[in-house]
Structure 1
Amino acid sequence: MKLKTSVKAVLALATLMGAAAQAAPQVEVLHYWTSGGEAKSVAELKKIMESKGVAWKDFAVAGGAGENAATALKARVMAGSPPTAAQIKGPSIQEWGQEGVLANIDQAATEGKWESTLPPVVTNVMKYKGHYVAVPVNVHRVNWLWVNPAVLAKAGAKAPTNFAEFFDAADKIKKAGLVALAHGGQPWQDATLFESVVLGTGGADFYKKALVQLDQATLTSPTMIKSFETLARIKTYIDKDAAGRDWNLATAMVINGKAGMQFMGDWAKGEFTAAGKVPGKDFLCVAAPGTDKAYTFNIDSLAMFKVKNPEQQKAQLVLANAVMSPGFQEVFNLNKGSIPVRAGAARDKFDSCAQKSMDDMAATSKAGALLPSMAHGMAINTAKAGAIQDVIARFMNSNMTPQAAAQALAKAAKTS
């Protein structure tokens, strides 16, 4: 009898322990932070969550600007099993909000006093119909040019501030037997390069009319044709093996001195930092040619999806406030190359590139030259952005004329 009782007790305890383990709160986070600097940043968030008693289930999907992750997310939502949170940004947050699948996280925003720590340009993006449904992680500056000063010295060139200087430097690097421009031939990378060229050619107001408002006359204007002419010339400095190359492999070419320059957002700095390189000494961060008075931004964010389990709902709020905590904002952005989204963040641990980004963001915000990145899903809806990227990719991979490209761009902007 005693033995039977003992066995029953052990079985009951095992059942309870199994139930407790099953009920332990967990967050499953779908993201595409998979390169060296990015992966370090995610590891820090995982540590914070686990220190708060919440298990982290990683759902990492590699692929540059997140196209693969977006496909995986659609499949999960359609199957009725969305992740707890997913890396989504810009107009895509509103698109998912319209589907009725995002969770209200106003409670986390109230507890964390987000309204007083975030600029309105950010809070507007994180809300759907007046309610928070996403939490911002950082602010990236997109219009950077990354430069290897040792390559410049070898070629007898200087860091460019405009396109005339850029082409002069590129010619000298090419003559020195090195790749002038490291680039990955993927549509989102082509679009990243293109939007910096448009901004450097036409200025902030032109960029806004063309790539945010999609004004038809602006898209077919002589200035847009000039932008494509500039892009056509830039193409000649990209090596023949660029097709399909991931962005971080292009960054590695600059880090290793195989290439002189790269147009890429400040997530590239995370790669330099992970390689032990020092800004101002081993690499230079300069505004893309002609864009020093403007700032194209990309805000990474985690959107929260509706989950039924009350424990999982609580875990979502824990995740949201962990992301917004000063400690995580600091360590994530130090690793990733971006800057904290919170106002008044401590600057002392951030390098000269990040401090310049903070200063330029503040200055361009006042001057009206703080602009959403078209290439990184901050400016226009997914369908239009995809159609525009297709035109740019076609131009990069064919002999399409600048005039034909401008006409095709205007047509793509009409995509519904």
Structure 2
Amino acid sequence: MKKLLATCLLALSLPAQAGQIEVLHYWTLPSEVTALALLKSKLGRHGLYWKDFVVPGGGGESAYAVLQARAIAGDPPMAALMEGPIIQEWASLGFLAAPYPPAREKQWDAVLPAVVRDAVKYKGRYVALPTDLHRINWMLVNPAPFDALKLPVPASWDAFFKVAPRLKAAGYIPLSLGKLDWQETTLFESVLLGLTDGAFYRKVFVEQDSAAINSARMVAVLERFRQLRQYAAPGSTGKSPEMAAIRSGRAAMFIMGDWAKADLVLQGMVPGKTLRCVPAPGTAGYFVYGLDSFALFRTAESAADTQAALADVLMNPALQSELARRKGAIPPRTDASHEGFDSCGLDAVSAFRDAEKHGRLLPSMAHSMATSQQAREVFFRVISYYFNHPEQSSQQAARQIDAALQALRY
């Protein structure tokens, strides 16, 4: 994107209708729709109108492509949902704005964790507004299969491979998994961390170190990962079969970010009773995070006040608390209330604080926080192909990842 956009002249968009805020996003899950309803209601009370510009696709790839086309044409939306390094990329090209006084930003500095500030600031200014933090390395558990067979919920991958055959023999799906590359890569992310440690995780996903990617350790992780295939299945057809399987009790476990928990709660599951949230095997003590933020685009000068008003709403601690509760996340602001959070949400708050204290916060690669969109696509393609094609060796997959990542550097 950088090479292409750098050749284009930055143009101001036409003035928007007074009080209208066009926002590009990809929030389409039921829990995300309830969160959007909250945002629209709060903005309405300030005389502002949220105009949806929805581009479906949970990872944002389609949305970013549409956004790029509009920005090149000189007609970007007023704001756009973004995650991770792509925020810095857009800011470095001069597309993003910070239409609020520096004094306001100093107030935000005091209540936002360092990993959040680093993700949304460029040259000392907030070019995006962080709204909710997700824990990616959750394992969502339906306790019914475990209770029926009197089995413990596995806390390590060795323990998983002991209980999985018994669950499968009894007719359960041990691990629910959608047939989507981003879900397979989300699973791989947790497998790698659970079998290694935070330092190796950073070597592979953040630094993309060739020695680490081609190491015997990486090969062992890949081999263990593919062994999960015999225990992983969606269990049904239709929309989100992986969610239906865990909800019905046909599946016992599902490794996914906590937005999935929010959707399961909307469908009747009760955290602490019919649904448990535990760290993915081997990842206790780590918090692999995803962060939703809304970047503000440079538009007509007359829109600056409207954008500043949007910032006031999005950064309100009470709003962030309710938004996080609806999305199954935790609020980025440390002064936001956690009243009304379910047991999973409270556990996430505690886990984040503990991981922050011990240097165990890790950016999710699968959910855009650790690397560029292009590098993420490399992992998606190679990991998904490897998982579904047993004829490819683990060594071949590792070499393919490394070669593709190296090609991006030139």
Q: What TM-score, normalized to structure 2?
A: 0.91
How far did residue 72 of structure 1 move?
Answer: 2.0
Q: Equivalent of 2:184, from 185, 190, 193?
A: 190
* Cα offsets for 1:263-310 (capped at 9, x unmatched): 101111111221232111111101000000211111110011111151
Q: Which residue of 1 aligns with 2:289?
A: 297
How far did residue 183 of structure 1 move?
Answer: 1.0
Matched residue of 2:306: which SS? helix
- How has the CA–CA distance of structure 1 residues 145 and 240 changed in structure 2, closer, same or farther, with 3 Å as cutoff? closer
Asked if the contact 1:184–1:242 (Cα under 8 Å) also holds between the matched residues in 2, the reply is no
1:62-211 to structure 2, matched below 5 A, reads 62-107=56-101, 110=104, 113-211=107-205
Cα RMSD of the aligned pairs, angstroms, is 1.9
1:279 matched to 2:266: no
Question: Which region of structure 1 is more displaced relative to structure 2, 404-413 or 49-58?
Answer: 404-413
- How has the CA–CA distance of structure 1 residues 369 and 240 changed in structure 2, closer, same or farther, with 3 Å as cutoff? closer
How far did residue 262 of structure 1 move?
Answer: 0.8
1:316 matched to 2:307: yes
Gaps of 5+ in 1: 1-21
How far did residue 135 of structure 1 move?
Answer: 0.2
Matched residue of 1:300: which SS? strand
Asked if the contact 2:179–2:234 (Cα under 8 Å) also holds between the matched residues in 1, the reply is no
Q: Which residue of 2 aligns with 1:14?
A: none
1:340 matched to 2:346: no
Asked if the contact 1:32–1:66 (Cα under 8 Å) also holds between the matched residues in 2, the reply is yes
Which has the larger Rg? 1
How far did residue 93 of structure 1 move?
Answer: 0.3
**Matches of 1:109 and 1:27, distance apart in 2:** 24
How far did residue 35 of structure 1 move?
Answer: 0.7
Asked if the contact 2:289–2:362 (Cα under 8 Å) also holds between the matched residues in 1, the reply is yes
1:393 matched to 2:384: yes
* Cα offsets for 1:68-88 (capped at 9, x unmatched): 222221222222211111111
Asked if the contact 1:296–1:370 (Cα under 8 Å) also holds between the matched residues in 2, the reply is yes
Q: Which residue of 1 aligns with 2:13?
A: none
**Matches of 2:115 and 2:103, distance apart in 1:** 16
Regions of 4+ moved over 4 Å: 240-243
**Matches of 1:242 and 1:229, distance apart in 2:** 26
Q: Which residue of 1 aligns with 2:49?
A: 55
1:220 matched to 2:229: no
Sequence identity (%): 39
Gaps of 5+ in 2: 1-15
**Matches of 2:286 and 2:236, distance apart in 1:** 28
Asked if the contact 2:235–2:242 (Cα under 8 Å) also holds between the matched residues in 1, the reply is no
Q: Equivalent of 2:351, from 356, 360, 377?
A: 360
